[in-house]
Structure 1
Amino acid sequence: MKRFINIARQFQDDENGAAMVEYSILIGIIAAASIVAVIAIGGWVGSQFTGLCAKLNTKGVSTTGAGTGTC
Protein backbone atom coordinates (compact mmCIF):
# COMPACT_ATOMS: atom_id res chain seq x y z
CA MET A 1 0.00 0.00 0.00
CA LYS A 2 2.87 2.39 0.77
CA ARG A 3 4.33 1.74 -2.64
CA PHE A 4 1.05 2.77 -4.27
CA ILE A 5 0.94 5.96 -2.19
CA ASN A 6 4.52 6.80 -3.16
CA ILE A 7 3.75 6.29 -6.83
CA ALA A 8 0.66 8.50 -6.51
CA ARG A 9 2.72 11.26 -4.85
CA GLN A 10 5.37 11.08 -7.56
CA PHE A 11 2.69 11.29 -10.23
CA GLN A 12 1.13 14.29 -8.50
CA ASP A 13 4.47 16.11 -8.21
CA ASP A 14 5.54 15.37 -11.78
CA GLU A 15 4.75 18.33 -14.06
CA ASN A 16 6.55 17.10 -17.17
CA GLY A 17 3.34 15.83 -18.74
CA ALA A 18 1.54 19.13 -18.23
CA ALA A 19 4.45 21.06 -19.71
CA MET A 20 4.55 18.74 -22.70
CA VAL A 21 0.84 19.28 -23.34
CA GLU A 22 1.26 23.06 -23.08
CA TYR A 23 4.16 23.03 -25.54
CA SER A 24 2.21 20.79 -27.90
CA ILE A 25 -0.71 23.19 -27.90
CA LEU A 26 1.64 26.12 -28.48
CA ILE A 27 3.31 24.34 -31.40
CA GLY A 28 -0.11 23.56 -32.86
CA ILE A 29 -1.16 27.20 -32.68
CA ILE A 30 2.08 28.36 -34.30
CA ALA A 31 1.73 25.75 -37.07
CA ALA A 32 -1.88 26.75 -37.77
CA ALA A 33 -0.94 30.45 -37.90
CA SER A 34 1.94 29.67 -40.26
CA ILE A 35 -0.30 27.70 -42.60
CA VAL A 36 -2.90 30.48 -42.67
CA ALA A 37 -0.18 33.07 -43.39
CA VAL A 38 1.30 31.01 -46.23
CA ILE A 39 -2.14 30.49 -47.80
CA ALA A 40 -2.96 34.21 -47.51
CA ILE A 41 0.36 35.32 -48.96
CA GLY A 42 0.06 32.73 -51.73
CA GLY A 43 -3.35 34.06 -52.70
CA TRP A 44 -2.06 37.62 -52.75
CA VAL A 45 0.97 36.71 -54.89
CA GLY A 46 -1.25 34.75 -57.27
CA SER A 47 -3.58 37.70 -57.73
CA GLN A 48 -0.60 39.98 -58.35
CA PHE A 49 0.66 37.72 -61.12
CA THR A 50 -2.83 37.44 -62.61
CA GLY A 51 -3.15 41.23 -62.62
CA LEU A 52 0.28 41.62 -64.18
CA CYS A 53 -0.61 39.09 -66.86
CA ALA A 54 -3.85 40.92 -67.65
CA LYS A 55 -2.02 44.25 -67.91
CA LEU A 56 0.62 42.79 -70.20
CA ASN A 57 -2.01 41.22 -72.46
CA THR A 58 -3.81 44.56 -72.86
CA LYS A 59 -0.55 46.38 -73.75
CA GLY A 60 -0.14 44.36 -76.92
CA VAL A 61 2.64 41.99 -75.97
CA SER A 62 4.23 40.56 -79.07
CA THR A 63 3.67 36.87 -79.65
CA THR A 64 6.69 36.54 -81.92
CA GLY A 65 9.94 35.25 -80.54
CA ALA A 66 10.61 32.68 -77.85
CA GLY A 67 7.46 33.27 -75.80
CA THR A 68 3.92 32.30 -76.63
CA GLY A 69 2.46 35.67 -75.68
CA THR A 70 -0.01 34.17 -73.19
CA CYS A 71 0.24 33.85 -69.44
Structure 2
Amino acid sequence: MIEVRFFGPIKEENFFIKAGDLKELRAILQEKEGLKEWLGVCAIALNDRLIDNLNTPLKEGDVVSLLPPVCGG
Protein backbone atom coordinates (compact mmCIF):
# COMPACT_ATOMS: atom_id res chain seq x y z
CA MET A 1 0.00 0.00 0.00
CA ILE A 2 1.02 3.60 -0.65
CA GLU A 3 0.54 6.22 2.05
CA VAL A 4 -0.87 9.52 0.77
CA ARG A 5 -0.29 12.56 2.98
CA PHE A 6 -1.83 16.02 2.76
CA PHE A 7 -0.44 19.24 4.22
CA GLY A 8 -1.43 22.83 4.87
CA PRO A 9 -4.91 23.93 3.84
CA ILE A 10 -5.84 20.66 2.12
CA LYS A 11 -8.72 19.37 4.21
CA GLU A 12 -8.25 15.64 3.68
CA GLU A 13 -7.22 12.87 6.03
CA ASN A 14 -4.10 10.90 5.15
CA PHE A 15 -4.89 7.43 3.78
CA PHE A 16 -3.42 4.26 2.28
CA ILE A 17 -4.17 3.08 -1.27
CA LYS A 18 -2.85 0.84 -4.05
CA ALA A 19 -1.53 2.50 -7.22
CA GLY A 20 1.08 1.43 -9.77
CA ASP A 21 2.45 4.89 -10.56
CA LEU A 22 1.84 8.56 -9.86
CA LYS A 23 -0.38 8.92 -12.94
CA GLU A 24 -2.74 6.24 -11.63
CA LEU A 25 -2.71 7.80 -8.16
CA ARG A 26 -3.52 11.22 -9.60
CA ALA A 27 -6.50 9.76 -11.49
CA ILE A 28 -7.79 8.25 -8.24
CA LEU A 29 -7.31 11.52 -6.35
CA GLN A 30 -9.15 13.50 -9.06
CA GLU A 31 -12.28 11.55 -8.18
CA LYS A 32 -12.27 13.12 -4.70
CA GLU A 33 -14.21 16.38 -4.93
CA GLY A 34 -12.13 18.26 -2.37
CA LEU A 35 -8.85 17.45 -4.12
CA LYS A 36 -9.56 18.42 -7.73
CA GLU A 37 -8.60 22.06 -7.23
CA TRP A 38 -5.36 21.16 -5.43
CA LEU A 39 -3.93 18.66 -7.91
CA GLY A 40 -3.05 21.35 -10.45
CA VAL A 41 -1.13 23.52 -8.00
CA CYS A 42 0.46 21.10 -5.53
CA ALA A 43 4.00 19.83 -5.70
CA ILE A 44 4.30 16.06 -5.31
CA ALA A 45 6.91 14.44 -3.11
CA LEU A 46 7.71 10.73 -3.17
CA ASN A 47 9.52 9.59 -0.05
CA ASP A 48 10.45 13.23 0.72
CA ARG A 49 11.85 13.94 -2.78
CA LEU A 50 10.06 16.28 -5.19
CA ILE A 51 8.84 14.48 -8.32
CA ASP A 52 7.65 15.94 -11.62
CA ASN A 53 7.28 12.76 -13.70
CA LEU A 54 3.83 11.20 -13.30
CA ASN A 55 5.11 7.96 -14.85
CA THR A 56 7.22 7.38 -11.74
CA PRO A 57 6.42 3.87 -10.46
CA LEU A 58 5.20 3.36 -6.91
CA LYS A 59 6.06 0.42 -4.68
CA GLU A 60 4.87 -1.02 -1.38
CA GLY A 61 5.63 1.33 1.51
CA ASP A 62 6.11 4.49 -0.56
CA VAL A 63 4.87 7.78 0.89
CA VAL A 64 3.38 10.36 -1.48
CA SER A 65 2.88 13.88 -0.14
CA LEU A 66 0.80 16.62 -1.74
CA LEU A 67 2.43 19.95 -0.94
CA PRO A 68 0.30 23.04 -1.56
CA PRO A 69 1.99 26.32 -2.52
CA VAL A 70 2.79 28.59 0.41
CA CYS A 71 3.17 32.33 0.70
CA GLY A 72 5.33 34.09 3.18
CA GLY A 73 6.35 37.52 4.04
TM-score by length of 2: 0.17
Larger radius of gyration: 1
Identify the structure with bigger relative contact order (alpha carbons < 8 Å, sequence gap 6+). 2
TM-score by length of 1: 0.18
More strand by share: 2
More helix by share: 1
